[in-house]
């Protein structure tokens, strides 16, 4: 994959960097795997705004993604690789030998026509295959990792991310996550071999504010220009610096730990994520 810089024909294209999308092989999604996606505009069931800076954006339909990979022992062929407006990664359309079709998060390097498999036994360690962590060799790059068996993939799902299997001990394995955190996960949890596709996503530059509006993001007001009644960093004569960085309800930012000290899963974290 690669990115390309556009010619500055308009002010919006001057700094625009877009994905080449040379890996994408289909324009239209699979109709049987689409569901409506309702927008809230940041409002609750009473119509009151509870989340700011949300609204508008292009109409979307949700692609049903198979995060559980629970169709085990049945081989599938990659029919196409598609763009998904609801996530940063690309998705792959699988067609199983019994005729069923499912979407999965496309791993980096997956090809159309390739066979993929998920299961507990006799599954080769190849890109796109899903298997329990206990069956994966040390040092393997993995993605779409479960946190609890049968829950479905919940970690390392966004574009270009991956985790690494570091060690195995008893019923747990040690995983190094994209954040830098090292933690224990039950060996029965499923993971997919390979990193997530579209690693060039972080190199893309939107080029203009309008593209944020297409994504449903409204303009954000900086706290430092607010009044003291609206934000702890507001107020002051002239261009005041705003004081210590903090959220609207007073929680410090930039390094302040918000994780509960009494959280039960803390015992599974061997090394905290990097600041």
Residues of the chain with pLDDT under 50: none
pLDDT at 38: 94
- Taking the domains of the chain in order of start, what are their residue ranges? 3-202
Residue pair 147/139 in contact by the 8 Å Cβ criterion: no
pLDDT at 273: 82
pLDDT at 274: 73
Question: What span, in angstroms and rounded, lies between the C-alpha atoms of 230 and 254?
Answer: 20
pLDDT at 275: 65
pLDDT at 121: 87
**What CATH number does the domain located at 3-202 have?**
2.40.50.140
Q: Are strands 130-132 and 190-193 parallel, antiparallel or unpaired?
A: antiparallel
Taking alpha carbons only, the member of 115, 92, 105, 109 closest to residue 26 is 92
Q: What angle do CA 86, 150, 29 make, to 5 degrees?
A: 30
For residue 144, give both structure tokens: 């779409």
pLDDT at 155: 96
Question: What span, in angstroms and rounded, lies between the C-alpha atoms of 206 and 12?
Answer: 8
Residue pair 195/160 in contact by the 8 Å Cβ criterion: yes
Summarised one tens digit per residue, pLDDT across range 195-214 is 999 999 999 999 999 999 99
pLDDT at 1: 66
């Amino acid at each position: 994959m690669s990115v390309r810089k556009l010619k500055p024909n308009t002010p919006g294209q001057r700094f625009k960097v877009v994905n080449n999308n040379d890996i994408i092989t289909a324009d239209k999604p699979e109709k049987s795997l689409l569901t409506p996606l309702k927008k809230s505009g940041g409002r609750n069931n009473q119509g009151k705004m509870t989340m700011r800076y949300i609204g508008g954006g292009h109409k979307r339909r949700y692609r049903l993604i198979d995060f559980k990979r629970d169709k085990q022992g049945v081989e599938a062929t990659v029919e196409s690789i598609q763009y998904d407006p609801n996530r940063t990664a690309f998705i792959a359309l699988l067609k199983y030998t019994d005729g069923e079709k499912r979407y999965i998060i496309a791993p980096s390097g997956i090809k159309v026509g390739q066979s993929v498999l998920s299961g507990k036994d006799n599954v080769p360690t190849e890109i796109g295959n899903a298997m329990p962590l206990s069956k994966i060799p040390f040092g393997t790059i993995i993605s779409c990792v479960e946190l609890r068996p049968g829950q479905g993939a919940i970690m390392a799902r966004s574009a270009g991310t991956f985790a690494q299997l570091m060690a195995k001990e008893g019923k747990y394995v040690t995983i190094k996550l994209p954040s830098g955190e090292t933690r224990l996960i039950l060996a029965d949890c499923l993971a997919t071999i390979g990193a997530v596709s579209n690693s060039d996503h972080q190199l893309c530059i939107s080029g203009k504010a309008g593209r944020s509006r297409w994504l449903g993001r409204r303009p954000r007001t900086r706290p430092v220009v607010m009044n003291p009644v609206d934000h702890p960093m507001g107020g002051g004569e002239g261009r005041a610096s705003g004081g210590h960085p903090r959220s609207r309800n007073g929680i410090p930012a930039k390094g302040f730990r918000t994780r509960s000290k009494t959280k039960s899963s803390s015992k599974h974290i061997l090394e905290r994520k990097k600041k």
